[in-house]
Amino acid sequence: MSPSQPNDSAQIRRTFLDFFAQRGHEVVPSAPLVPQNDPTLMFVNAGMVQFKDVFTGKDRRPYTRAASSQKCIRISGKHNDLENVGVTARHQTFFEMLGNFSFGDYFKEEAIVYAWDLLTKVYGVSPSRLIVTVYNGEGGFPKDDEAAAIWRKVTGFGEDRIRALGLADNFWTMGDTGPCGPCSEIHYFHGGEPDPSRFGEEPRIDGSGWTEIWNNVFMQYDRAEKDGPVVPLPAASVDTGMGLERIASVLQGVTSNYDTDLLRGLVDRAAELSGKRYTGSTSADDVSMRVIADHARTSAFLIAEGVMPERQKREYVLRRVMRRAIRHGHRLGIERPFLHEVALEVVRRMGDVYPELKDRRELIARVTEDEEVRFRATLKRGMKILDDRFGEMRSQGKTTLPAEAAADLYTTYGFPLDLTEVISAEQKFGVDVAGAEAIIHGAEGVEGPINPEAALDPAFREARALLKEPVVFTGYEEEAGDSEVVALIQVEGQLDHAEGQPDRTRARPKRTLVQRAEAGTRVEIVVSRTPFYAESGGQVGDAGKISAAGLRVEVKDTQKPLLGLVVHEGVVREGAIEVGQKVHLEVDHAARTATRRNHSATHVLHWALRKVLGEHAQQKGSRVGPDTLRFDFAHNKPVTAKEIEQIEDLVNAKILTNETVQTEVLSMDEAKKRGAMAIFEEKYGDTVRMLSMSSEVVELCGGTHAKALGDIGLFKIVGEAGVAAGVRRLFAETGLNALTHVRKLEGDIGRARQAARATGGDLATKIEKLVAHERELEKKVSDLERRLAEGGGPGQGSGGGIDGLLEGARDIGGTKVLARRVADGTSGAALREIAEKLRDKLGERSAVLLGSVVGDKAQLALMVSKAATDRLKAGEIIRPVAKLVGGSGGGRPDMAQAGGTEVGQLDAAIAAAYAEFERALG
Predicted pLDDT at 37: 61
Q: Is residue 460 in some structural domain?
A: yes
Residue 553 has pLDDT above 80, yes or no: yes
Q: How far is the C-alpha of 512 from the C-alpha of 745, rounded, in Å?
A: 54
Q: Is residue 716 in some structural domain?
A: yes
CATH (domain of 40): 3.30.930.10
Q: Is residue 793 in some structural domain?
A: no
Q: Is residue 462 in some structural domain?
A: yes
Of 131-135, 210-214, 490-494, 895-899, the poorest mean pLDDT is in 490-494
Distant-in-sequence contacts of 304-307, Cβ < 8 A, 24+ apart = 304/354, 304/356, 304/357, 304/359, 304/360, 304/363, 304/364, 305/32, 305/33, 305/34, 305/356, 305/504, 306/34, 306/504, 306/505, 307/33, 307/34, 307/504
Predicted pLDDT at 532: 97
Domain count, the chain: 5
Q: How far is the C-alpha of 421 from the C-alpha of 430, rounded, in Å?
A: 7
CATH (domain of 610): 3.30.980.10
Q: Is residue 887 in some structural domain?
A: yes
Q: Is residue 500 in some structural domain?
A: yes
pLDDT tens digit sequence for 683-717 = 455 678 888 888 888 888 888 999 999 999 999 99
Domain endpoint, select from 247, 262, 277 = 262
Tell the burial category of 580 from Cβ atoms under 10 Å away from its Cβ (0-12, 13-18, 19+): exposed
State mean pLDDT over 73-80: 68
pLDDT tens digit sequence for 615-667 = 778 887 889 988 889 999 878 788 999 999 999 999 999 999 999 998 888 88
pLDDT tens digit sequence for 208-266 = 789 999 999 998 887 777 777 778 877 789 999 999 999 999 999 998 999 999 999 99
CATH (domain of 564): 2.40.30.130
- Give the predicted TM-score (pTM) of the model: 0.49
Q: What is the mean pLDDT of the chain?
A: 85
Are the CB atoms for 593 and 569 separated by under 8 Å? no
311 and 244 in a common domain: no
State mean pLDDT over 410-430: 77
Predicted pLDDT at 205: 64
Q: Is 701 annotated as a binding residue?
A: yes
pLDDT tens digit sequence for 799-814 = 557 788 888 899 999 9
Q: Is residue 292 in some structural domain?
A: yes
CATH (domain of 865): 3.10.310.40
More confident residue, 274 or 316: 274
Predicted pLDDT at 441: 59
Q: Is 603 annotated as a binding residue?
A: yes
Residue 1 has pLDDT above 70, yes or no: no
Domain endpoint, select from 212, 241, 262 = 262
Q: How far is the C-alpha of 922 from the C-alpha of 653, rounded, in Å?
A: 76
864 and 744 in a common domain: no
Predicted pLDDT at 596: 92
857 and 728 in a common domain: no
Q: Is residue 768 in some structural domain?
A: no
Closest CA to 317 of 524, 42, 37, 681: 42
175 and 28 in a common domain: yes
272 and 133 in a common domain: no
- Cβ partners under 8 Å of residue 263, min gap 6: 92, 245, 257, 290, 293, 294, 297
More confident residue, 771 or 445: 771
599 and 562 in a common domain: no
Work out the pLDDT band at 450, boundaries 50, 70, 90.
Answer: very low
640 and 553 in a common domain: no
Predicted pLDDT at 364: 92
369 and 246 in a common domain: no
Predicted pLDDT at 677: 73
Domain endpoint, select from 735, 753, 771 = 753
More confident residue, 884 or 307: 884
Work out the pLDDT band at 781, boundaries 50, 70, 90.
Answer: very low
Q: How far is the C-alpha of 420 from the C-alpha of 382, rounded, in Å?
A: 8
538 and 640 in a common domain: no
350 and 371 in a common domain: yes
Work out the pLDDT band at 154, boundaries 50, 70, 90.
Answer: very high
Buried b (16+ CB within 10 A) or exposed e, 847-880: bbbbbbbbeebbbbbbbbbeebbebbbbbebbbe
Note down the domain range covering 242: 9-262
579 and 631 in a common domain: no
pLDDT tens digit sequence for 569-592 = 999 999 999 999 999 999 999 999
pLDDT tens digit sequence for 819-858 = 999 888 787 778 888 899 999 999 999 999 999 998 889 9
675 and 629 in a common domain: yes
